[in-house]
Chain A
Amino acid sequence: MRKVSLLLITLFFFFIMTACTTDGKEIDDQVYALILGLDKGVDNKIRLTIQYPTYKGGGGMQKSEGGGEDKKSGQIDNTVVTTIEASSILEGINLLNTVTSRRISLVHLKKVVFSEYIARQGIKNYLEPLARFREIRRITQIAVCRGSAEDFINENKTLIGESISKSMELMTSQSQNTGYFPKTPFETFYKGILSPYGQAYSTYVGINDFKHLKPLSEATAPLRTEYPILPGEIPRTGDLARETIGTAVFDGDRMVGSLNSYETRYFMMVSGGFEKGIFTLEDRSMPGSAIPFDVRLGRKPKVKVTFNNGVPIIDVNLNIEADIGAIQSRIPYEKLERIDELNDLIADIIQNGIKKTIEKTQKEWNTDIFSFGYQAAKHFFTIQEFEKYNWLRHYKEAKVNVSVQANVRRTGLMTESAPVRYSNQDVLSEEK
Chain B
Amino acid sequence: MRKKKTLFQNLLSYITYKEKEPIKEFYIPEINEKESSQDQGNIPDHTNKGHERNRGIIKPVPVAEMRKEKTAGQNQASDNTVSTNIQQNMDYINQKFNAPDNKDIIIRQFTIAKRYKAFIAYLDGMVDRVTINHFILAALMENDDKFTNGDESCQLEFILLNVLQTNQAKKLDTPRDVIYEILSGNTVLYVDGCDYYLVNETKGYDKRGVETPQVEGVVLGSQEAFNETLRTNITLIRKYIKNSNLTTEFIRVGIENQQLCAVLSINGLTNPAIVDEVKRRIKSIKSDAILGDGMLEQFIEDNPFSLVPTMLTTERPDRTASHLLEGKVAILVEGAPFCKIVPISLVSLIHSPEDAFMRWPYGTLLRFVRVFAIAISTLLPGLYVALTKFHQEMVPTDLLIAIAKAKENVPFPTVVEVILMELSFELIREAGIRIPGIIGNTLGIIGALILGQAAVQANIVSPVLIIVVAVTGLGNFAIPNYSLALSVRLARFFFIFLGALLGFYGITIGLALIWVSLFNIKSFGVPYFSPVAPKTSRSADLFIRYPVWNQEYRPDYVNALRKKRQTKISRKWTQQNPENNYDREESDDEGR
| B502 surroundings in chain A (CB, below 8 A) | 14-15, 18, 20-21
Contact of A53 among B14, B389, B401 (CB under 8 A): B401
| A18 surroundings in chain B (CB, below 8 A) | 502, 505
In this assembly, does B503 line the interface, its C-beta being within 8 Å of a C-beta of chain A? Answer: yes
In this assembly, does A165 line the interface, its C-beta being within 8 Å of a C-beta of chain B? Answer: yes
- Of A103-111, A212-220, A308-316, A372-380, the one with at least 4 CB within 8 A of chain B: A103-111
Contact of A163 among B305, B388, B401 (CB under 8 A): B401
Which positions 311-327 of chain A face chain B at CB distance < 8 Å?
none
Classify the secondary structure of B's interface with A.
helix
Which positions 389-403 of chain B face chain A at CB distance < 8 Å?
389-390, 392-393, 397-398, 400-403
| A55 surroundings in chain B (CB, below 8 A) | 401, 404-405, 408
Give Cα A7 to B14, complex, Å: 10
| B11 surroundings in chain A (CB, below 8 A) | 9
Give Cα A4 to B517, complex, Å: 11
Which positions 94-110 of chain A face chain B at CB distance < 8 Å?
105, 107-108, 110
Which positions 279-306 of chain A face chain B at CB distance < 8 Å?
none
| B505 and A108 contacting across the interface, CB-CB below 8 Å | no
Q: A21-B502, A28-B408 are in contact. Are A165 and B392 (CB under 8 A)?
A: no
Shortest Cβ distance from B10 into A: residue: A5
| A26 and B413 contacting across the interface, CB-CB below 8 Å | yes
In this assembly, does B328 line the interface, its C-beta being within 8 Å of a C-beta of chain A? Answer: no
| Residue among B397, B509, B517 with the highest chain A CB neighbour number at 10 A | B397
| A27 and B407 contacting across the interface, CB-CB below 8 Å | yes
Contact of A165 among B397, B413, B513 (CB under 8 A): B397
| B509 surroundings in chain A (CB, below 8 A) | 14
Give Cα A9 to B12, complex, Å: 11
In this assembly, does B506 line the interface, its C-beta being within 8 Å of a C-beta of chain A? Answer: yes
Which positions 51-65 of chain A face chain B at CB distance < 8 Å?
53, 55-58
Q: A108-B393, A137-B393 are in contact. Are A24 and B503 (CB under 8 A)?
A: yes
| B397 and A34 contacting across the interface, CB-CB below 8 Å | yes
| B501 and A108 contacting across the interface, CB-CB below 8 Å | no
| A26 surroundings in chain B (CB, below 8 A) | 388-389, 407, 413-414
Least CB distance, B18 to chain A, in whole angstroms: 11
In this assembly, does B500 line the interface, its C-beta being within 8 Å of a C-beta of chain A? Answer: yes
| B413 surroundings in chain A (CB, below 8 A) | 26
Can you list, as one digit per residue, whether each of A389-423 has a CB less than 8 Å from chain B (1) or not (0)?
00000000000000000000000000000000000
| B398 and A163 contacting across the interface, CB-CB below 8 Å | yes
Least CB distance, B164 to chain A, in whole angstroms: 58
Which positions 456-496 of chain B face chain A at CB distance < 8 Å?
none
| B501 and A15 contacting across the interface, CB-CB below 8 Å | yes
Least CB distance, B344 to chain A, in whole angstroms: 22
Contact of B14 among A9, A11, A21, A57 (CB under 8 A): A9
| A105 and B392 contacting across the interface, CB-CB below 8 Å | yes
Give Cα A30 to B506, complex, Å: 22
| B397 surroundings in chain A (CB, below 8 A) | 32, 34, 108, 110, 165-166, 169
Least CB distance, B19 to chain A, in whole angstroms: 15
Give Cα A32 to B399, complex, Å: 12
| B404 surroundings in chain A (CB, below 8 A) | 27-28, 55
| B393 and A27 contacting across the interface, CB-CB below 8 Å | no
In this assembly, does A6 line the interface, its C-beta being within 8 Å of a C-beta of chain B? Answer: yes
Q: A15-B501, A26-B388, A108-B393 are in contact. Are A32 and B398 (CB under 8 A)?
A: no
Which positions 1-54 of chain A face chain B at CB distance < 8 Å?
3-7, 9-11, 14-15, 18, 20-21, 23-28, 30, 32, 34, 53
Least CB distance, A162 to chain B, in whole angstroms: 10
| B14 surroundings in chain A (CB, below 8 A) | 5-6, 9
| B403 and A23 contacting across the interface, CB-CB below 8 Å | no
Which positions 188-220 of chain A face chain B at CB distance < 8 Å?
none
Give Cα A58 to B11, complex, Å: 54
Least CB distance, A322 to chain B, in whole angstroms: 36
| B403 and A27 contacting across the interface, CB-CB below 8 Å | yes
Shortest Cβ distance from B410 into A: residue: A28
Shortest Cβ distance from A20 into B: residue: B502
| B392 and A30 contacting across the interface, CB-CB below 8 Å | yes
Shortest Cβ distance from B412 into A: residue: A26
Give Cα A108 to B396, complex, Å: 9
Q: Number of contact residues on A: which range applies? A: 35 or more
Give Cα A108 to B401, complex, Å: 10
| B407 surroundings in chain A (CB, below 8 A) | 26-28
Q: Number of contact residues on B: which range applies? A: 20 to 34
| A23 surroundings in chain B (CB, below 8 A) | 390, 503
Total contacts A-B at CB 8 Å: 86
| B389 surroundings in chain A (CB, below 8 A) | 24-27
| A105 surroundings in chain B (CB, below 8 A) | 392
Least CB distance, A164 to chain B, in whole angstroms: 9
| B403 surroundings in chain A (CB, below 8 A) | 27
| B505 and A24 contacting across the interface, CB-CB below 8 Å | no
Q: A21-B502, A108-B392 are in contact. Are A165 and B398 (CB under 8 A)?
A: yes
Least CB distance, B96 to chain A, in whole angstroms: 42
Q: A9-B14, A28-B407, A110-B397 are in contact. Are A4 and B513 (CB under 8 A)?
A: no
Shortest Cβ distance from B387 into A: residue: A27
Which positions 359-392 of chain B face chain A at CB distance < 8 Å?
388-390, 392
| B405 surroundings in chain A (CB, below 8 A) | 55-58
Q: A55-B408, A108-B393, A137-B393 are in contact. Are A20 and B401 (CB under 8 A)?
A: no
| A20 surroundings in chain B (CB, below 8 A) | 390, 501-503, 505-506
| A7 surroundings in chain B (CB, below 8 A) | 513
| B393 surroundings in chain A (CB, below 8 A) | 107-108, 135, 137
| A110 surroundings in chain B (CB, below 8 A) | 397
Shortest Cβ distance from B390 into A: residue: A24
| B501 surroundings in chain A (CB, below 8 A) | 14-15, 20-21
Give Cα A15 to B505, complex, Å: 11
Least CB distance, B497 to chain A, in whole angstroms: 9
| B517 surroundings in chain A (CB, below 8 A) | 3
Can you list, as one digit per residue, whether each of A55-81 has a CB less than 8 Å from chain B (1) or not (0)?
111100000000000000000000000
Can you list, as one digit per residue, whether each of A145-182 has a CB less than 8 Å from chain B (1) or not (0)?
00000000000000000010110010000000000000
Give Cα A107 to B390, complex, Å: 11
Least CB distance, B332 to chain A, in whole angstroms: 32
Shortest Cβ distance from B389 into A: residue: A24
| A5 surroundings in chain B (CB, below 8 A) | 14
Can you list, as one digit per residue, whether each of A220-240 has a CB less than 8 Å from chain B (1) or not (0)?
000000000000000000000
Contact of A24 among B401, B402, B498, B500 (CB under 8 A): B500
Give Cα A110 to B398, complex, Å: 12
Give Cα A416 to B392, complex, Å: 56
| A32 and B503 contacting across the interface, CB-CB below 8 Å | no
Shortest Cβ distance from A165 into B: residue: B397
Q: A14-B502, A14-B509, A57-B405 are in contact. Are A27 and B398 (CB under 8 A)?
A: no
| A32 and B401 contacting across the interface, CB-CB below 8 Å | yes
Least CB distance, A170 to chain B, in whole angstroms: 11
Shortest Cβ distance from B505 into A: residue: A20
Give Cα A142 to B398, complex, Å: 21
Can you list, as one digit per residue, whether each of B499-518 has a CB less than 8 Å from chain A (1) or not (0)?
01111011001000100010
Least CB distance, B37 to chain A, in whole angstroms: 43
Least CB distance, A307 to chain B, in whole angstroms: 46
Shortest Cβ distance from B503 into A: residue: A20
Shortest Cβ distance from B394 into A: residue: A107
Least CB distance, A13 to chain B, in whole angstroms: 9
Known: A14-B502, A20-B390, A108-B392. 13 other contacts (CB 8 A): A9-B11, A9-B14, A18-B502, A20-B501, A25-B390, A26-B388, A27-B403, A27-B414, A32-B392, A32-B401, A55-B408, A58-B402, A107-B393
Residue contacts A-B, CB under 8 angstroms, 27 given: A4-B305, A5-B14, A15-B501, A20-B390, A20-B501, A20-B503, A20-B506, A21-B502, A26-B407, A26-B414, A27-B388, A27-B389, A27-B404, A28-B404, A32-B401, A55-B405, A56-B405, A57-B408, A58-B402, A107-B392, A107-B393, A108-B393, A110-B397, A137-B393, A163-B401, A165-B398, A169-B397
Kindly list the 9 A-B residue pairs having the minimum CB-CB distance in the complex, ordered from nearest.
A107-B393, A24-B389, A165-B397, A55-B408, A28-B404, A28-B407, A55-B405, A27-B404, A108-B397
